[in-house]
Amino acid sequence: MSDGSNRQSEILLEIADGVGTIMINRPDRRNSFTIDMLDPWHEAIEECRTNSDVRAVVLTGAGDEFFCGGGDTSKLGANVVVSPQIAKAEFEALHRIARGMRGLDKPSIAAVNGVASGAGMDMALHCDIRILATHARMSIPYLRFGLYPGNGAAYFLPRIVGTAKALELIWSGQPIDSDEALRLGLANKVAPSDSLRHEVAKFAQMLVNSPPLALKLIRRGVYQSTDQSLDATLELTSSNMAITRTSADHAEAIAAYTEKRTPVFRGE
């Protein structure tokens, strides 16, 4: 897999059929990431955000063993001494990934094809939904190593599973399998390992074929409502409903329904 310029990298981007697929490509290193990978990773997210051909984004790992094993441990630990200033700069670079995924304004899917551990689990949490292979495992063992969750877990995890369960998962650091992830709501779907990519592609195509304006506004509104009052959310609802009811997407959807045909959306 490569982007349109055939660039070979540890972060690969493929754009096809309206879907931008970002792949972490270090299977020999558990798909763990280094600081040097964060610039091309952020560039791939920005390409997906600004490219009108991309209507949905998939994040996954190369191979079938690891989605992302977190930060490369050869660059971490007590034997690697960094100043507070360097550590802060490194985490600012890392946090561009979380901010970039949330700021996409397009739906994102984590195709969790194997182990997602530590900051690698956080990377899956950055996405809107997660589809796990049956053999996938997720864990967040920061406390075991005397660390604060470094990639947004303290923000994303309680919003998905609730405060008490988030604290339990972070404090225990114990891996959970795909069935438990589904039960907790960490996984939206679980697919047989050999058909994960097919199931993700099918869901992504459903999003690509949806009315783009309403899709964007629904995603934006759901996230905004988590930090708003009911009154503020209803005000936003009124505005977004007025926008979508007068849109070309809505007119095309109604016409296609009446004429019993597949709608064709032009995008924004």
Question: Region 242-266: what's the mean pLDDT?
Answer: 89
Helix, strand, coil % in the chain, rounded to nearest 5:
50, 15, 35
Task: Look at residue 267 in the predicted model and tell me its pLDDT.
Answer: 66
Measured between alpha carbons, how far is 231 from 208 in angstroms, rounded to an integer?
31
Contact (Cβ atoms closer than 8 angstroms) between residue 185 and residue 161: yes
pLDDT band at 75 (very low <50, low <70, confident <90, very high): low
Beta 137-139 vs 19-24: how paired, if at all? unpaired
Count CA atoms closer than 13 A to 253's CA, side-chain side.
14
The model's pTM: 0.88
CB 140 within 8 A of CB 115: no
pLDDT band at residue 1 using 50, 70 and 90 as cut-offs: very low
**Exposed, middle or buried, 205 (CB in 10 Å: 0-12/13-18/19+)?**
middle
The CA-atom distances, in angstroms, between 68 and each of 45, 64, 201 are: 17, 11, 20
Among 58, 159, 203, 66, which residue's Cα sits nearest to residue 121? 66
pLDDT value of residue 3: 42
Q: What integer is the mean pLDDT of 32-46?
A: 95
- For the segment 51-71, the average pLDDT, to the nearest whole number, is 96
- CA-CA distance, 151 to 90, in Å (whole number)? 11
Q: How far apart, in whole angstroms, are the C-alpha atoms of residue 140 and residue 132?
A: 16
Mind listing the pLDDT tens digit for each residue in 167-194?
A: 999 999 999 999 999 999 999 999 999 9
Residue 10 DSSP one-character state: S
